Amino acid sequence: EADIYQTPRYLVIGTGKKITLECSQTMGHDKMYWYQQDPGMELHLIHYSYGVNSTEKGDLSSESTVSRIRTEHFPLTLESARPSHTSQYLCASSDWGQEGGYTFGSGTRLTVV
């Protein structure tokens, strides 16, 4: 079944640690996105990609990086986690026409202590 997967679902980590949030999709979508969402707040775009070897920063300043070596895989890395990074991270993908909207993964809820 075509879908989008995020791991881990929950993560508690200490300050200063390096972490990678995984996102994979099996829908063959070219476009992929990372959003950050705090409870009850709007989604903020932090990174996006239009295809292999294409990555762009979004509107939210973030100390994170992404890579897109394969169409299906779009991991997000925090080199040094801080308590201010505590949030929910949502990965999404879409086709070029976007008529079907974004398909979101289940999210990773990150807590940095």
Partner 1 sequence: GQNIDQPTEMTATEGAIVQINCTYQTSGFNGLFWYQQHAGEAPTFLSYNVLDGLEEKGRFSSFLSRSKGYSYLLLKELQMKDSASYLCAVSLNTGGFKTIFGAGTRLFVKA
Which of residues 1 and 42 has its CB atom nearest to partner 1 in the complex?
42
Q: How many CA atoms lie within 13 A of 34 on its CB side?
A: 31
Minimum CB separation of residue 31 from partner 1 in Å reads: 7
Which pair of tokens denotes residue 71?
Answer: 């169409």
Candidates 20-28, 30-38, 64-72, 76-84; binding stretch for partner 1 (CB under 8 A): 30-38
Asked whether position 52 contacts partner 1 by CB under 8 A, the answer is no
CB 57 within 8 A of CB 110: no
State the minimum distance, in angstroms, from the CB of residue 16 to partner 1. 28
